[in-house]
A and B are shown apart, each in its own frame.
Chain A
Amino acid sequence: MTKPVDLVQGTLDMLILKTLALEPAHGWAIAQRIRQVSKDVLQVRQGALYPALHRLEQQGWIKAEWGESENNRRAKYYSLTKAGRNYLEQEHANWERLSAAIGIVMNTA
């Protein structure tokens, strides 16, 4: 049984996981990266980021560690767990399949 997660939330989760797949980052950096990568199209309400991060942490896809930021301040760094990495790959495959299917449907309409 999956928990009731709406589409936007699911997308945000994917984005966070994808971001962290590259390297561990703190919340601010993740927000920046998402803005960067999506070329500002995806405006994530910055506040929405943190509940998502905590949820992903509870589910075990990411883990958190306190560390020092670039400007020597204390910051919470998140990174992917192995389970998270597996999940990401799985979801990525699903997503590919889904978008391919939609593509077919769209193209053959």
Chain B
Amino acid sequence: MRWLAKARLRLRSLFRRERIGGELSEELEFHLEQAVQEKLAAGLSRVEARHAALRDFGGVEQVREECAEVRRLNWFYDLLEDVRYGLRMLGKSPGFTGVAVLTLALGIGANTAIFSVVYAVLLKPLPYPQPNQLVGVTMAEPEEGIPTNGTSYDDFREWQAQNHVFTEMAGFQSHDLTLTGRGEPLTVETAVITPGLFSLLGVKPIVGRTFFPEDGQEGARAVVVLSENLWRDRFGGDSSVLGTSISLDHKSYTVIGVMPASFDYPPLNSSEPVWIPLLQDPVFGPWMDRKGGHWLRVIARIKPSVSFAGAQAEMDTVGARLAAKSPAENTGWVIRLVPLQRQMVGSMKTALVALLGSVGLVLLIACANVANLLLCRATSRAKEMALRAALGAGRGRIVRQLLTESAVLGLAGGLAGVLLANWGVHGLRSGLPANLPQANTVRLDGSVLAFALGLSILASFLFGLAPTLFAAGADLEAVLKQDVVRSGESGPQRFAREFLAAAEVALAMVVLVGAGLLGRSFLSLTSVRPGFEVENRMKSGVELPLLEYSQPAEWRAFGEGLLRRLQAQPGMHDTAIAVPLPLVDGYINLAFDIVGNPPLRPGASQNADYAAVSPNYFGVMGIPLLRGRWFSEQDRDSSAPVTVISETLAQLYFPNQDPIGRQLSFEFPPRAVTRQEIVGIVGDVRDVGLGQPPGAMMYVPFAQAPFWEAEIVVESNLSAANVAAAIREQVHGMDKDLPVGDVRAMSEAVDRSVQQPRLRTVLVGLFAGIALVLAAAGIFGVMSYSVSRRTHEIGIRMALGASASRVQRLVLTESAKLLLIGLAVGIPAALGLSRLLSNLLFAVRPSDPLTFLGVGVLLIAVGLAASYLPTRRAMRVDPLVALRHE
């Protein structure tokens, strides 16, 4: 084909300057040599001939420049003309252009919005120098199935001392402290760190300084680094705050610096954290001397000369050495390195990839739709094309112009898509979980826009291919001579349209199945019974500053005193306290031993979740008593230590025995190891997550195991505002400087715990909806077009005696064929791809037959509905008119 040769020429011109230079040289050299021959024949010497020839020729270099210029200029002018022509053609049919641009905008916009999240969270390198040297250092207990955990401060020091592969290591934890003295008492999420964290990450403050190693040494003054948001909100963004003190839990800290708002380590829920040295922390500071425990989270920076595998190998050795030295604590535990970015992202990766995949399919459907639209237009423009060819436009020129038109359409769609995406990103940002790493950097930045541009071009190529191939392959002369309308449609064209429509159905099926599975999974998840009652329950929280309330006796007194006061309030008789509340707070997991059982082998452990609760807790929470008794007012510090266990613990660790009367021994700091007698068995609760099966749980009376922080749960018909006021009043009646956590309905808090699955389900559902609409539009388009092309044929059939219902069947058969082919391809595709979703699904198999059946029926129904109008039109064809229709 000529246009292929021309395309080759054009490409050569663009990319192989050197070759062209060579060929051009050869051509000019030939000319010069001929001229020289002529002059030689005229009697000049070789040298004179050469000079004369060059003189006649003019400047050789100049000529070469001009030739190169010609190639460049031509290309540019042609492109400009194509673009202008394309815009004019698109402007002539605003309806078509509008639909095409809108379709593309939906596809490209959705993809761009999702990609902005994927990029910010998964792909963008962490904003620290040499981010690929950063690793999380965790401890894992493979045999007990604990994949990742922290370490003790003691072990952290050992790791620092014994390794040769890290330039630096740092540890951290976090919890809340109360900021007082600057307005209302405020709960501040506090990152508790070893001093080296900031230098490890290589970050600089915006004012002041970060920690020096001296700040973590005994006797150092207590210092704090603020976050920019907190600094601006509470301290007016004034740098004179440096050097002044603030009061956290009634302990004085000197402000030494402010970190920029973009600094987000460790990942916390709050956007206004503070950082204090571990040594100065009232909660974890005292734990620095404690042996064992897995509370400190550690990160490290690998030396540039060491590989990841090398670092892991070294830490394996260190881990083994430590386990040999302290077998009681460390047997069975191994040290595991994880690249920091992967550790931060965790399980989000599957979800994000699934989202990107489904939205990509939506774009494919959109491209198929636009390709179909263009094909229809190509047919009606066939005569125009043929005329142009006859008038001298090379076929290549026509093809190039069509591709340019596609590109213009694609870029217009991309532009509109970016606008849509902008709006979408705003919505996404507010829906993202707060502690998603780098979530605060989700926006339409350069890389995301480049992605959108790339998608537009790819899309143009995809949908532009169809009409271009048609234009290139069709015999344009025959088009002019022949009456295309009469013969119906050309074979390859019709096949292309039907193929596209069937493909859309298949793709839509995949996305719909994904949405259906996620939807069913989400419904299952939210209908799971948590094991406790949620109706009419509200929760709040109180925290005592350790500096003022340093003794367990004080915690007990406060907790019980507050409880009595609250219970005396009208409408708040059913109030209990708990540390922690199941599902909506974190969970505490402890190892325990059963007194009287043979000792466990070293390294093995029995674990259960732990909670300290007031006597009426089970009643207020609606947790059923199965055997024995609940706690009562008689269970005090002075009486026998007791515990209540969950059904699962009883079944797992006391099979075929009666647990009542046996003793469990465990340690929860700051208490020492105690033995608690089992007095009751209660129903299970899902305390970790709705999607997690309930595990073993042991409860102790708050009076026997008080804590400085407690959650309040109230069962009441009062409004949340009234409850909040009552709690605040009573708390402040006891200590006016204590902040009271927000009062929230338990049902709302439980909803929060499934925020991620909800977001996923909603998004994929949205995409599935778009896919369905697009596929329906595609089928509608193809069927309408097909009917209009076959009007003549239908007229003949009717004239020959076919009834309206036969015609109807004719049309419906065609659309049914499309749908069935689409389903035939879509079902296996969906089966294959849905397996990728399996870790996102709860209680639903990826091959769930109900979902597949439902989606199939939906698609067929929608497809037939989309064919309804074209079918009616076919049935209404007046044979006389149709026969005359040329």
Question: Which residues on the B side are within 8 Å of A83 (C-beta)?
Answer: 392-394
Q: Would A86 and B391 be within 8 Å (CB), given that A28-B31, A55-B74, A60-B396 are in contact?
A: yes
B416 CB to closest chain A CB (Å) equals 28
* Stretch of B53-61, B601-609, B767-775 contacting A (4+ beta carbons < 8 Å): B53-61
Question: Which residues on the B side are within 8 Å of A55 (C-beta)?
Answer: 70, 74
Interface membership of B28, Cβ < 8 A = yes
| Chain A 53-77 near chain B by CB (<8 Å), digits 1 or 0 | 0110111100100000101011110
Question: Which residues on the A side are within 8 Å of B81 (C-beta)?
Answer: 1
A73 B57 Cβ-Cβ under 8 A: no
Q: Would A27 and B69 be within 8 Å (CB), given that A58-B74, A83-B392 are in contact?
A: no
Q: List 21 A-B contacts (CB under 8 A).
A: A3-B77, A26-B31, A27-B27, A28-B34, A46-B56, A46-B57, A50-B24, A50-B63, A50-B67, A51-B67, A54-B70, A54-B71, A57-B9, A60-B6, A63-B5, A71-B37, A74-B30, A76-B27, A76-B30, A81-B2, A83-B392
Interface membership of A48, Cβ < 8 A = yes
Tell which of A26, A46, A63 touches B30, judged by Cβ atoms closer than 8 Å.
A26
Question: Which residues on the A side are within 8 Å of B63 (C-beta)?
Answer: 47-48, 50-51
B74 A51 Cβ-Cβ under 8 A: no
A47 B30 Cβ-Cβ under 8 A: no
Best-buried of B27, B37, B58, B66 by chain A (most CB within 10 Å) = B27
Tell which of B37, B60, B77, B84 touches A47, judged by Cβ atoms closer than 8 Å.
B60
CA of A47 to CA of B53 in the docked complex: distance in angstroms?
11
Tell which of A1, A73, A87 touches B33, judged by Cβ atoms closer than 8 Å.
A73
A75 B74 Cβ-Cβ under 8 A: no
Q: Output the nearest chain A residue to B81 by Cβ-Cβ distance.
A: A1
B748 CB to closest chain A CB (Å) equals 65
Question: Which residues on the A side are within 8 Å of B69 (C-beta)?
Answer: 51
Residues of chain B from 46 to 99 with CB closer than 8 A to chain A in the complex: 56-60, 62-63, 66-67, 69-71, 73-75, 77, 81, 84
CA of A54 to CA of B69 in the docked complex: distance in angstroms?
10
Interface membership of A39, Cβ < 8 A = no
A75 B30 Cβ-Cβ under 8 A: yes
Tell which of A28, A51, A75 touches B35, judged by Cβ atoms closer than 8 Å.
A28
Interface membership of A36, Cβ < 8 A = no
Question: Which residues on the B side are within 8 Å of A86 (C-beta)?
Answer: 391-392
Q: Output the nearest chain B residue to A30 by Cβ-Cβ distance.
A: B31
Interface membership of B789, Cβ < 8 A = no
Interface membership of B637, Cβ < 8 A = no
Interface membership of B39, Cβ < 8 A = no
CA of A54 to CA of B30 in the docked complex: distance in angstroms?
16
B28 A50 Cβ-Cβ under 8 A: yes
CA of A91 to CA of B296 in the docked complex: distance in angstroms?
87
Q: Output the nearest chain B residue to A59 by Cβ-Cβ distance.
A: B74
Q: Would A45 and B58 be within 8 Å (CB), given that A50-B63, A59-B74 are in contact?
A: yes
Question: Which residues on the A side are within 8 Å of B33 (C-beta)?
Answer: 73
Question: Which residues on the B side are within 8 Å of A75 (C-beta)?
Answer: 27, 30
Interface membership of A90, Cβ < 8 A = yes
Residues of chain B from 10 to 38 with CB closer than 8 A to chain A in the complex: 13, 23-24, 26-28, 30-31, 33-35, 37
B66 A51 Cβ-Cβ under 8 A: yes
CA of A8 to CA of B23 in the docked complex: distance in angstroms?
27
- For the complex with contacts A28-B30, A45-B58, A58-B75, 15 further pairs of A-B residues with Cβ separation under 8 Å are A26-B30, A27-B30, A27-B31, A28-B34, A31-B31, A47-B58, A47-B62, A50-B28, A50-B66, A55-B70, A58-B9, A60-B394, A63-B5, A74-B30, A86-B392
Question: Which residues on the B side are within 8 Å of A76 (C-beta)?
Answer: 23, 26-27, 30
A22 CB to closest chain B CB (Å) equals 19
B70 A58 Cβ-Cβ under 8 A: yes
Chain A residues within CB distance 8 Å of chain B: 1, 3, 26-28, 31, 45-48, 50-51, 54-55, 57-60, 63, 69, 71, 73-76, 81, 83, 86-87, 90
Question: Which residues on the B side are within 8 Å of A57 (C-beta)?
Answer: 9
Question: Which residues on the A side are within 8 Å of B58 (C-beta)?
Answer: 45-48
Question: Which residues on the B side are within 8 Å of A28 (C-beta)?
Answer: 30-31, 34-35
Q: Output the nearest chain A residue to B391 by Cβ-Cβ distance.
A: A86
CA of A28 to CA of B31 in the docked complex: distance in angstroms?
5
Question: Which residues on the A side are within 8 Å of B6 (C-beta)?
Answer: 60
Question: Which residues on the B side are within 8 Å of A74 (C-beta)?
Answer: 26, 30
Q: Output the nearest chain B residue to A53 by Cβ-Cβ distance.
A: B67
Interface membership of B494, Cβ < 8 A = no
Question: Which residues on the B side are within 8 Å of A48 (C-beta)?
Answer: 58, 63
CA of A57 to CA of B394 in the docked complex: distance in angstroms?
12
8 closest A-B pairs (Cβ-Cβ)?
A47-B58, A51-B66, A47-B63, A60-B394, A58-B74, A28-B34, A55-B70, A86-B392
Interface membership of B397, Cβ < 8 A = yes
Question: Which residues on the B side are within 8 Å of A51 (C-beta)?
Answer: 63, 66-67, 69-70
CA of A74 to CA of B31 in the docked complex: distance in angstroms?
11
Question: Which residues on the B side are within 8 Å of A73 (C-beta)?
Answer: 30, 33
Tell which of A45, A54, A60, A69 touches B397, judged by Cβ atoms closer than 8 Å.
A60
Best-buried of A28, A45, A47, A81 by chain B (most CB within 10 Å) = A47
A42 CB to closest chain B CB (Å) equals 15
Question: Which residues on the A side are within 8 Å of B66 (C-beta)?
Answer: 47, 50-51
CA of A56 to CA of B245 in the docked complex: distance in angstroms?
82
Question: Which residues on the A side are within 8 Å of B75 (C-beta)?
Answer: 58
A58 B27 Cβ-Cβ under 8 A: no
Question: Which residues on the A side are within 8 Å of B71 (C-beta)?
Answer: 54, 58
B39 CB to closest chain A CB (Å) equals 13
B250 CB to closest chain A CB (Å) equals 80
CA of A1 to CA of B83 in the docked complex: distance in angstroms?
12
A24 CB to closest chain B CB (Å) equals 15
CA of A87 to CA of B9 in the docked complex: distance in angstroms?
21
A76 CB to closest chain B CB (Å) equals 5
Question: Which residues on the B side are within 8 Å of A26 (C-beta)?
Answer: 27, 30-31
Q: Output the nearest chain B residue to A85 by Cβ-Cβ distance.
A: B392
B865 CB to closest chain A CB (Å) equals 48
CA of A60 to CA of B35 in the docked complex: distance in angstroms?
28
Q: Would A47 and B26 be within 8 Å (CB), given that A1-B81, A54-B71, A83-B393 are in contact?
A: no
B77 CB to closest chain A CB (Å) equals 5
CA of A37 to CA of B391 in the docked complex: distance in angstroms?
29
CA of A49 to CA of B6 in the docked complex: distance in angstroms?
21
CA of A31 to CA of B34 in the docked complex: distance in angstroms?
11
B80 CB to closest chain A CB (Å) equals 8
B57 A47 Cβ-Cβ under 8 A: yes
CA of A63 to CA of B2 in the docked complex: distance in angstroms?
10
Question: Which residues on the A side are within 8 Å of B5 (C-beta)?
Answer: 63
CA of A58 to CA of B68 in the docked complex: distance in angstroms?
11
Q: Output the nearest chain A residue to B65 by Cβ-Cβ distance.
A: A51
CA of A96 to CA of B530 in the docked complex: distance in angstroms?
95
B809 CB to closest chain A CB (Å) equals 49
Residues of chain B from 113 to 158 with CB closer than 8 A to chain A in the complex: none
Question: Which residues on the A side are within 8 Å of B27 (C-beta)?
Answer: 26-27, 50, 75-76
Q: Would A47 and B59 be within 8 Å (CB), given that A28-B31, A74-B30 are in contact?
A: yes
CA of A12 to CA of B34 in the docked complex: distance in angstroms?
21
Q: Output the nearest chain A residue to B13 by Cβ-Cβ distance.
A: A58
B522 CB to closest chain A CB (Å) equals 58
CA of A75 to CA of B27 in the docked complex: distance in angstroms?
6
Q: Would A87 and B392 be within 8 Å (CB), given that A28-B30, A50-B63 are in contact?
A: yes
Question: Which residues on the B side are within 8 Å of A63 (C-beta)?
Answer: 5
CA of A69 to CA of B57 in the docked complex: distance in angstroms?
20
Question: Which residues on the A side are within 8 Å of B396 (C-beta)?
Answer: 60
Question: Which residues on the B side are within 8 Å of A27 (C-beta)?
Answer: 27, 30-31
